[in-house]
């Protein structure tokens, strides 16, 4: 198929085929890696039985093997129709002014660092700076295999408890920020958006000024009038590119609205089944008086707060996916967090 003369003449179709090919190649590589690691561990155990002092080597290999198996297990838990798609993330601070705005920016940095660690591409499409510090809102794309399926674990309200760097009395503050994640819908999924239902406004993109200040109305805001859904993009200098990006966000949000309708129907028929809503508090990050992060759904607890805020979300994501699939909690011990 790839060798066909007209294969590259259809960019969208050829790109999808190449992505599917890459996904299959990565699956084969993972299986081969597991086979090779298993053989290496078997060899080490055989040497140990013969009297070789290689305990440290065995522990090192087992740790690497366990980490690789956890990654594969996470991928196997992603069985949703849209899990393999790219993601669009929107973060909004809660009440609290500078405190919550700073927390929203910390979350943005955490997800961007996570994407970087995963080798995913990310792009901020809209960002509104806060008053003095932090952000009032941000929307960005994360492009990579299973990005939506993995980041689906982050939908909800995130709570931060810390000694405020903005409080001269060094008092403890609690801040909230909400995270929304949408799948980037490809063209094969039909979302009916009538142009007459969409109001398109243009305005000048914000910036720091100087020689690079935007002198044209390149930023685009789209409002879907029937649902009052609003998206905007001001990342590009070209209004055409911003319009295309905004429409992609609008399609994603409209698709999520339809999915939420189906979820609501499912909740009514399965009242006892836990489902995560956008407005629910899902995780607490405590920096004072002790340091701990706890996912309130899976009860996964981790003490290395800095590592998580620096983008290491693998443990939290894996524990949530296991909980969602099996109902299994990471810990049966509930730890009360400070109010």
List the structure tokens of 10: 């259809």
pLDDT of residue 198: 93
Q: What is the reported pLDDT for 157?
A: 95
Measured in whole angstroms, the distance separating CA 324 from the mean position of its chain's CA atoms is 16
Q: What are phi and psi of 282, to 5 degrees?
A: -110, -25
DSSP 3-state assignment of 34?
A: helix
The pTM for the full model equals: 0.70
Q: Dihedral angle at the C-alpha atoms of 231, 84, 177, 99, nearest 10 degrees?
A: -100
- Dist. CA 22–CA 35, nearest whole Å: 20
Nearest to 161 by CA among 251, 4, 288, 5: 288
- Tens-digit pLDDT string for the chain (339 aa): 666 777 667 666 676 677 677 767 877 887 888 888 899 999 999 898 888 888 888 898 998 888 888 778 887 888 777 898 899 999 999 987 899 999 999 999 999 999 999 999 999 999 999 988 999 999 999 999 899 999 999 999 999 999 999 888 888 999 999 999 998 876 556 677 888 999 999 988 765 444 444 556 789 999 999 999 999 998 888 888 899 899 889 988 888 887 777 667 545 544 433 333 434 689 999 999 999 999 999 999 999 999 999 999 999 999 999 998 888 888 644 444 443
Our CA angle for 74, 255, 149, nearest 5°, is 5
Determine the pLDDT at residue 218.
85
Distance (Å, whole) CA 183 – CA 252: 6
Strand (E) or helix (H) holding 245: helix 239-269
Phi-psi region of 146 (alpha: psi -120 to 50; beta: other; left: phi over 0): left
**DSSP annotation of 6:** T
CA gap 295, 159 in Å, rounded: 10
Is the sign of the CA dihedral 249, 99, 295, 64 positive or negative?
A: positive
- Among residues 119, 177, 187, 106, which one has the least CA distance to residue 147? 119
What pLDDT, on the 0 to 100 scale, is given for residue 119? 93
Identify the bridge partners of residue 156 per DSSP, sorted by sequence position: 179
């Amino acid at each position: 198929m790839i060798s066909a003369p007209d294969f590259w003449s259809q960019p969208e179709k050829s790109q999808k085929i190449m992505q599917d090919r890459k996904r299959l190649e990565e699956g084969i590589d993972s299986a081969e890696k597991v086979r090779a690691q298993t053989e290496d561990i078997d060899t080490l155990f055989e040497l140990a039985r013969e009297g070789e002092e290689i305990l440290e080597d065995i522990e090192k290999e087992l740790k690497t093997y366990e980490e690789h198996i956890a990654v594969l297990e996470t991928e196997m838990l992603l069985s949703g129709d849209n899990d393999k798609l790219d993601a669009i993330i929107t973060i909004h601070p809660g009440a609290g002014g500078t405190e919550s705005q700073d927390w929203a920016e910390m979350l943005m940095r955490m997800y961007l660092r996570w994407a970087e660690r995963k080798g995913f591409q990310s792009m901020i499409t809209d960002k509104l700076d806060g008053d003095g510090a932090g952000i009032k809102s941000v929307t960005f794309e994360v492009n990579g295999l299973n990005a939506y399926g993995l980041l689906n674990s982050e939908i909800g309200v995130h709570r931060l408890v810390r000694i405020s760097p903005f409080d001269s009395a060094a008092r403890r503050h609690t801040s909230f920020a909400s995270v929304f994640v949408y799948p980037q819908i490809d063209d094969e999924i039909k979302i009916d958006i009538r142009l007459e239902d969409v109001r398109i406004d243009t305005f000048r993109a914000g910036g720091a000024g100087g020689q690079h200040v935007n002198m044209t109305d390149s930023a685009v805001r789209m409002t879907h009038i029937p649902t009052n859904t609003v998206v905007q993009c001001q990342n590009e200098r070209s209004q055409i590119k911003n319009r295309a990006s905004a429409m992609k966000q609008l399609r994603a949000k409209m698709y999520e609205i339809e999915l939420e309708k189906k979820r609501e129907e499912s909740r009514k028929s399965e009242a006892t089944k836990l489902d995560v809503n956008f407005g629910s508090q899902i995780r607490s990050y405590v920096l004072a008086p002790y340091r701990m992060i706890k996912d309130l759904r899976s009860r996964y607890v981790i003490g290395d707060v800095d590592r998580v805020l620096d983008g290491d979300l693998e443990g939290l994501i894996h524990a949530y996916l296991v909980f969602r699939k099996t109902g299994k909690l990471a810990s049966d011990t509930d730890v009360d967090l400070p109010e």
